[in-house]
Amino acid sequence: MEVLMLGFALFSLCGAADLPNFVLLFADDLGYGDLGSSGHPTSLTPNLDRLVAHGLRFTDFYSTSPVCSPSRLGGLPLNETTIAEVLKPLGYTTAMIGKWHLGYGANGTYLPTRQGFDHYLGIPYSHDMGPCHNLTCFPPYVKCYGFCDVGTVTVPLMDGEAITQQPVDFIHLEDAYSTFATEFIRSAAQKRQPFFLYYPSHHTHYPQYAGWKSVGRSLRGPFGDALLEFDFTVGDILKTLKDTGVLSNTLVFFTADNGPELMRMSRGGNSGLLKCGKGTTYEGGMREPAFAYWSGVIKAGVTHSLASTLDILPTFAKLAGAPLPTVQLDGVDMIDILFNHGAGQRKAMFYYPVDPSEKFGVFAVRMGKYKAHYYTRGSAQSETTPDQDCRVISPLKYHDPPLLFDLESDPAENYNLSLKDHPELVSVLQDINNLKDEFQASMQFGQSEIGKGTDPNLAPCCKPHCSPKPECCQCGTAG
């Protein structure tokens, strides 16, 4: 009750004509230990660090999955409700810059413009999903590091539903994003229209690189440069919020889609003290850096409350006073955490593998500070670390009794708790088992829409009728 009242007090302060703005920043394959503020010695993230210092930092924030697609989804069914669609009926203007990766579809059926975004500038999927081209601006030109897709069209730049460049000029892409975001905020502020800006970056996904402003500027190499370039755009967005006078009415939320891709070795990210990374259901696969920043409204600090990307939609909806979509949501709002630094409503987190199935169900469950692993498996994406458990050679293993960790005293999941030594944990484990059964009973497996777009004629091409494809799909790029 206290929580709700605080929430409502906030709304009445803002008034119906002055709905809060939302900026959602989403990094790619970024690990728990990757930010300067997470203690990484050579990352250079001055803007993110400043927001963390003046915002509320989450220590126990989870993405929905150890790979990006469920965080972003993939061929997102049109009948699902996005945050943009939740906010639009209230008069919000909505924009997205960056990497969509929720489907393209015939005639752009799945683009952001069909999912509630008024404006969109970005690449429709990952930048390794096309033939490699130059990702460095200075000689010696380095093409891709490792492998990118071959035989496909080059990655296009979309403005709304139109391809304006193919291949996209990656060296200047971040400048284009920054300009687009800045103009969007200025225009909304001028019209006094509430706005939602979603910026899912292709940084720091493989192949790591940075444009002209950031290349070679960090001590950390290509990953650090990529992160710095993302950080520059964050800085530009923040400066614009301030310059246009809307900073104190804007909630900025930052997190990432999943843990670091350790197989890229020193070019991949780092999960800090957490075990393993992308592709695994250990903490390093899903626990992410996250913070909320709202100048003058959210008190700076640190929260150890459980929270997840699942909770962002209910939180934004509540703050805007928007009705929730009439579906069974897995998220709960974070109002108590944000405004009271309270414990929040989330009691548990469920960890599904990269290939969820009804046969195996959830691999692990966190309830409070305890995490039980029913299944574990290494991943090619967490290859090359010294920890064998992370590697692809560690096959699917069923644990009965489950591996049990106290994540408060042992966040690195090093010490499996023995029920013999801790008889009081027998009932804890029973509670976790019950929670798991209850959750799984309520889980409906849907049909993925991925795979419907494998027809090469449906590949994004700026000259739809040209030949021979894919080479002829080239527009708007000099050189």
Ligand X SMILES: *[C@@H]1O[C@H](CO)[C@@H](O)[C@H](O)[C@H]1NC(C)=O
**Residue positions annotated with a catalytic role:** 68, 101
* Closer residue to ligand X in complex, CB, 79/442: 79
Single out the residue of 144, 300, 324, 403 in contact with ligand X (rule: CB under 6 A): 403
* Closer residue to ligand X in complex, CB, 49/85: 85
Burial category of 28 from C-beta neighbours within 10 Å (exposed 0-12, middle 13-18, buried 19 and up) = buried
Q: Which two tokens stand for residue 207?
A: 């192949």
Is 418 among the residues that bind ligand X (CB under 6 A)? yes
* Closer residue to ligand X in complex, CB, 8/212: 212
Is 327 among the residues that bind ligand X (CB under 6 A)? yes
Q: Which two tokens stand for residue 112?
A: 């952001």
Rounded Cα–Cα distance for residues 426 and 14 (Å): 49
Q: Which stretch binds ligand X (CB under 6 A): 250-258, 307-315, 337-345, 415-423?
A: 415-423
Binding mask 66-85 for ligand X (x = CB under 6 A): -----------x-xx-----
Angle between the N-to-C axes of helices 46-54 and 222-243, in degrees from 0 to 180, rounded to the nearest 10:
60
Nearest distance in Å: CB 446, ligand X:
6
Is 474 among the residues that bind ligand X (CB under 6 A)? no
Length of the chain: 479
Looking at this protein, which amino acid is placed at residue 105?
G
Nearest distance in Å: CB 392, ligand X:
19
> How many CB atoms are closer than 10 A to CB 204?
31
Is 479 among the residues that bind ligand X (CB under 6 A)? yes
Q: Tell me the site size for ligand X, rule CB under 6 A.
A: 15
Is 416 among the residues that bind ligand X (CB under 6 A)? yes
Nearest distance in Å: CB 77, ligand X:
5
Rounded Cα–Cα distance for residues 436 and 349 (Å): 10
Single out the residue of 59, 134, 295, 474 in contact with ligand X (rule: CB under 6 A): 134
Nearest distance in Å: CB 477, ligand X:
8
Is 401 among the residues that bind ligand X (CB under 6 A)? yes
Rounded Cα–Cα distance for residues 246 and 437 (Å): 46
Q: How far is CA 139 from CA 82, 135, 136, 143, 245, in A?
A: 43, 11, 8, 11, 42
Specify the DSSP class assigned to residue 150: -
Is 419 among the residues that bind ligand X (CB under 6 A)? yes
Rounded Cα–Cα distance for residues 268 and 144 (Å): 14
Single out the residue of 106, 302, 343, 450 in contact with ligand X (rule: CB under 6 A): 106
Rounded Cα–Cα distance for residues 43 and 50 (Å): 14
Nearest distance in Å: CB 238, ligand X:
31
Nearest distance in Å: CB 416, ligand X:
4
Is 414 among the residues that bind ligand X (CB under 6 A)? no
Tokens 């974070």 belong to 334
* Closer residue to ligand X in complex, CB, 134/152: 134
* Closer residue to ligand X in complex, CB, 141/147: 141
* Closer residue to ligand X in complex, CB, 133/239: 133
Residue 363 contacts by C-beta under 8 Å, 6 or more apart in sequence?
281, 351, 352, 353, 373, 374, 375, 376, 377
Closest by Cα among 267, 263, 271 to 32: 271
Nearest distance in Å: CB 289, ligand X:
29
Restricted to residues 137-196, the positions that interact with ligand X (CB under 6 A) are 141
Tokens 């010490």 belong to 415
Restricted to residues 429-468, the positions that interact with ligand X (CB under 6 A) are 446
Rounded Cα–Cα distance for residues 211 and 329 (Å): 39
* Closer residue to ligand X in complex, CB, 17/327: 327
Longest dimension (CA), the chain: 71
Does residue 468 have a cis peptide bond before it, meaning omega lies within 30 degrees of 0? yes
Q: Which stretch binds ligand X (CB under 6 A): 189-197, 203-211, 413-421, 435-443?
A: 413-421
Binding site for ligand X (CB under 6 A): 77, 79-80, 106-107, 134, 141, 327, 401, 403, 416, 418-419, 446, 479
